[in-house]
């Protein structure tokens, strides 16, 4: 069977070049006589892999020297608890902009450690826009946002200016999709399974001064200091996932870096949004100014027609277009690894479906 166009929100498609290299190295990684999957994380070959992966992340994102790069387990969901446990320590309160399910989950976890102030929300409109950035409250330990909402298809085009208050951001579904000034943030985290690699790794970028704040009661594995002190190897890390992440970073660099990714992502998004704006059948669900480059939700307004479209699209090789169970409709996730021709082919299919079902 030929490969499909995979529009899954995560785990998502990976660059074919990366998959081919991983396949070629599966049985024998660079003359070691073993797969990376079998390799001791304490070995010199593996140390070289994780070191190169970190170096590439720093190079691609322009990560300053006063930030640590960590490769952790537990996904973004563990970060929802790990962040307040480590950082909600002085004022015991933090501010949140609630722009969807993932920031809502972070708020619920934070409430277990202190006061979670919801200072802006688009919940009343099913999270189809990014609310105006409010004034930064006084006496908070951090200000939290979700940079791109995978489910509802919204993104921050401008980030809050928080001054001395650390800005914390979930970049899970937009990491390395466009250029970002890391120095504006206290902590950035991203589950790998959307834009960086396979499920199982969470990339955490944390400023030095935010490490070492956890109270003594913090479990060892929940303390950022533990992972900084041990180079992400306090326990056995997700070794193969980090290796694949490194291959993805190599692919991004080879193809022009994040600047080139952003240019192509904007072109892909424009192809799909321009069609949605002109279609008499399909409609985007997000306020235009806040549209995501990565996750594009759309509907026909008829659930039976939505179901028919998803069924026919799947049969034609356009898979995982069903919207999140909480909102329905359709969603095309067009991460870095989705080729432009995949988006163009989807638009052509949508045009043909519309013509056939007038």
Give the active site residues: 102, 170, 194
- Cβ-proximal residues to 318 (8 Å cutoff; 6+ apart), any chain: 4, 5, 7, 345, 346, 349
Exposed, middle or buried: residue 288 (CB in 10 Å: 0-12, 13-18, 19+)?
Answer: exposed
| SS3 labels along 210-274 | HCCCCCCCCCHHHCHHHHHHCCCCCCCCCHHHHHHHHHHHHHHHHCCHHHHHHHHHHHHHHHHHH
What is the distance between the alpha carbons of residues 26 and 247, in angstroms, rounded to a whole number? 13
Q: Report CA dihedral (175, 176, 180, 185) to the nearest 10 degrees.
A: 40
**CB neighbourhood size of 271 (10 A):** 16
| Nearest Cα to Cα of residue 182 among 291, 104, 306, 66 | 66
Residue 337 φ then ψ, to 5°: -75, -15
* Token code pair at residue 303: 């659930």
335: Cα separation from own chain's centroid = 9
* Token code pair at residue 94: 């933090």
What is the distance between the alpha carbons of residues 275 and 282, in angstroms, rounded to a whole number? 8
CA dihedral (111, 115, 116, 118) positive or negative: positive
For tokens 């995560």, the residue is 10
């Amino acid at each position: 069977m030929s490969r499909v166009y995979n529009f899954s929100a995560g785990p998502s498609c990976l660059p074919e070049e990366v998959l081919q290299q991983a396949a070629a190295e599966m049985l024998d990684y660079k003359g070691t006589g073993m797969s990376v999957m079998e390799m001791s994380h304490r070995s010199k070959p593996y140390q070289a892999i994780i070191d190169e992966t970190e170096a590439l992340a720093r190079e691609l994102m322009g990560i300053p020297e006063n930030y640590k790069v960590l490769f952790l387990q537990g996904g973004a969901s563990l970060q929802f608890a790990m962040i307040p446990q480590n950082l909600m320590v002085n004022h015991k309160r933090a501010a949140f902009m609630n722009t969807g399910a993932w920031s809502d989950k972070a708020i619920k976890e934070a409430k277990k450690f202190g006061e979670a102030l919801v200072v802006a929300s688009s919940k009343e409109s099913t999270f189809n826009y990014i609310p105006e950035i409010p004034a930064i409250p006084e006496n908070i330990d951090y200000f939290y946002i979700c940079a791109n909402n995978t489910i509802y298809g919204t993104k921050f085009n401008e980030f809050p200016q928080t001054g001395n208050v650390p800005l914390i951001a979930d970049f899970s579904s937009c990491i390395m999709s466009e250029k970002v000034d890391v120095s504006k943030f206290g902590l950035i985290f991203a589950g790998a399974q959307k834009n960086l690699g396979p499920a199982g790794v969470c990339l955490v970028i944390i400023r030095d001064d935010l490490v070492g704040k956890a109270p003594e009661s913090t479990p060892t594995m929940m303390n950022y200091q533990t992972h900084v002190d041990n180079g992400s190897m306090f326990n056995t890390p997700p070794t193969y996932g980090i290796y694949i992440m490194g291959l993805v970073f190599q692919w991004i660099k080879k193809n022009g870096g994040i600047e080139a990714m952003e240019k192509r992502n904007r072109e892909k998004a424009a192809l799909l949004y321009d069609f949605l704006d002109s279609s008499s059948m399909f409609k985007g669900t997000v306020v235009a100014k806040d549209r995501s480059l990565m996750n594009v939700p759309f509907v026909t307004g008829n659930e039976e027609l939505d179901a028919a479209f998803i069924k026919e699209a799947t049969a034609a090789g356009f898979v995982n277009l069903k919207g999140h169970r909480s909102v329905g409709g359709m969603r095309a996730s067009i991460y870095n690894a989705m080729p432009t021709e995949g988006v163009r082919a989807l638009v052509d299919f949508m045009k043909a479906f519309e013509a056939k079902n007038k």
